[in-house]
Amino acid sequence: MHATRSLAAAALLSLLALCGVGCSGPAPDAGDAAPDGPVDPGLTEYLPDATPEHGDWLMLRLPAEMPHLNPVTSTDAYSSTILVYVFDPLLDRDPDTLEMTPWLAESWEVSPDHLVYTFHLREGLVFSDGAPLTSEDVKFTFDRILDPAVDAPHLRSYFTDLVSVEAPDPRTVRVTCSKPYYRHLVMIGSTQVIPKHIYGVGDFNNHPANRAPVGSGMYVLESWTTGQELILARNPRFWGGALRGWPHFDKIRYAVITDDNAAFQLLARGDLDSMTLTPEDWTRRANTPRFRERFNRFTSNRPAYTYIGWNLRKPQFADKRVRRALAMLLDRETILREIYKGLGMAVHSGFMPGTPEYNASLSAVPFDPAGAARLLEEAGWRDTNSDALLDKDGTALRFETLLTNQNPVAEKILTVYKEELARAGVELVIRPMEWASMLDRVDKRDFDSVIMGWQMPPDPDPYQIWHSSQADKGSNYVGFLNPEADKLIEDARVTFDTAERIRLYHRFQEILMDEQPYLFMLAPKALLAADKRIQGIRSHPFGMDEREWFVPKALQRYGN
């Protein structure tokens, strides 16, 4: 389900992006003590009176460091956060209407049969190194995506129907498809263009530019100090400066801070301008008079959900009765109340609650230890040797769950879950890992289970995560195989009747509910704090657009 140009953690991704479960948990209070009581819902929108001004630095946080930066091969939300500034797509997306609008392409046509898409590039497009951006670069980008040797199965899954990409002249791109797909314009239009003269030489999957990317975007990657920071600087050759306006900030600095407590302390003393907050910090440390005097707070529904993914290749997860029983042993309501402070909602599928695609007639699997015990016994799991663990065919029911290190929220969830599982005779081993290492294990299918989240785009397509073609190498890393689900996903892709496509997706969610390939958990709210010197912050249906942010001259701190 894929990136567009709204920059709030790639909230408008055209492509589903992996993220950690969330910013993490509690720490000792600093400053004024916050009272217990009802959770302050926070602001939902802040519209400044000031006119946007240029200058200053924006100081932000990265809670995990991406493995590399390549818009074709990168899969995680942390990479997308940077890449969306450095590379440009053919089309932009209006953050409110979600309609596609011109960007690199000034105009486009779609054939009546939805099979041919023709884009007309603007004059004067250049990459940050001064080389011209032409239709050959667009063609090269799609050729790399379609190349089976390129490590991009997550992205390639959206272009299985592309027959050819032609560049009849330097400013024209013609994409021909074998069959219609209701998201072709979105997917083709939002693909970030890479320069052929840079990425066309050497090993694409392990290219030197993965650490020093060259794009046409409004910023360039000035430096990347591993484990410490990434700094983006305004691109002096940005083609859209005169046409679309120069970016407001001279530089954007991302500090790599994996520990939430350390990040909050940097925010509180002014070394960070903005960051997402844990529910614990939102209700306590960020709810004091002293904090709120300096910071604005924003909360909104976030297009993301958390889950535990079961590796269905593992024998202990092969029976759907076991997977349902494991879901029945997770007390979502307690987790939502005690860990998330009520700031979220339980979910039952990977579609965004509140949208037509979400099947509201279904509900999350209830917490029911007695019912789970019956299902496990029915599936043949019993404690035959009185060691307090269920076993079957001489094998105990135990499994390992991977999570990102320095993530107290995920660790808290798993700690609560581990205790309930133990009471049911199931052993859970909690395995914290560094983000890139965990992704590597997941990509190699070398895991029992993993706790993560997916960010969801508008007009979703579940093919990337759930189609059987993506199981061996792709985002269907849990190995979900279901012929009816495949057919529903395939039919939905060629259905332009929205009501009929929604009907197909509702049936698809019924299958997910029955099969339980994920233990769907929660859709947490987005919780953001921003220094009051940051102006232009507005909420949009799928996140905030950081391109709108600025600092008035009188409040600027950094640079000239």
Phi, psi of 288 (to 5 degrees): -90, 155
Give, in order, the Cα–Cα distances in Å from 249 to each of 140, 212, 227, 303: 31, 21, 24, 26
Q: What is the pLDDT of residues 494-533, one digit of tens each?
A: 999 999 999 999 999 999 999 999 999 999 998 999 999 9
Q: What percent of the chain has pLDDT above 70? A: 91
Q: How far apart are CA 303 and CA 300, in angstroms?
A: 9
- Output 440 or 2, whichever has higher pLDDT: 440
Residues 323, 381 contacting (CB under 8 angstroms): no
Give the pLDDT score at 406. 73
Average pLDDT over residues 91-100: 89
Query: In angstroms, rounded to a whole number, what is the distance separating the alpha carbons of residues 449 and 440?
Result: 14
For the full predicted model, state whether its pTM sits above 0.85.
no
pLDDT grade, residue 337 (50/70/90)? Answer: very high
Task: DSSP for 458-506, please give it.
Answer: SS--THHHH-GGGSSSSS-TT----HHHHHHHHHHHT---HHHHHHHHH
Phi, psi of 122 (to 5 degrees): -70, 160
Does the pLDDT at position 119 exceed 50?
yes
% of the chain beyond a pLDDT of 90: 76
Q: Write the pLDDT tens digit of every residue in 342-382.
A: 999 999 998 988 889 999 999 999 999 999 999 999 999 99
Q: Please check whether residue 527 is in contact with residue 288, taking contact to mean a CB–CB distance below 8 angstroms.
A: no
pLDDT for res 52 = 87
Task: Give the separation between CA 21 and CA 121, rounded to whole angstroms.
Answer: 39
Domain boundaries, the chain: 64-256, 307-524
CA distances from 120 to 143, 373, 401, 461 (A): 19, 61, 48, 27
Q: Is 85 helix (H, G, I), strand (E, B) or coil?
A: helix
Residue 25 pLDDT exceeds 90? no
- Please report which confidence band the pLDDT of residue 4 belongs to, taking 50, 70 and 90 as the band edges: very low
Q: Which residues contact 52 (CB under 8 A, 6 or more apart)?
A: 248, 535, 536, 548, 550
| CATH superfamily, with its number, for domain 64-256 | Periplasmic binding protein-like II (3.40.190.10)
Confidence of residue 436 (pLDDT cuts 50, 70, 90): confident
Phi, psi of 482 (to 5 degrees): -150, 110
- The arrangement of secondary structure in 307-524, i.e. its CATH architecture, is Roll (3.10)
Mean pLDDT over each residue of the chain, to the nearest integer: 89
Residue 74: is its pLDDT beyond 60? yes
**What does residue 510 show for φ and ψ, rounded to 5 degrees?**
-65, -35
Rounded CA gap, 27 and 342, in Å? 19
Per-residue pLDDT band for 148 (boundaries 50, 70, 90) equals very high
Give the pair of three-digit tokens for residue 84. Answer: 């969306």
Give the pLDDT score at 122: 97
How many other C-beta atoms lie within 10 A of the C-beta of residue 116? 16
d(CA 418, CA 395): 19
Q: Among 287, 261, 267, 295, which Cα is nearest to 34's?
A: 287
Q: What is the pLDDT of residue 243?
A: 72
- Compute φ and ψ for 433, nearest 5 degrees: -145, 160
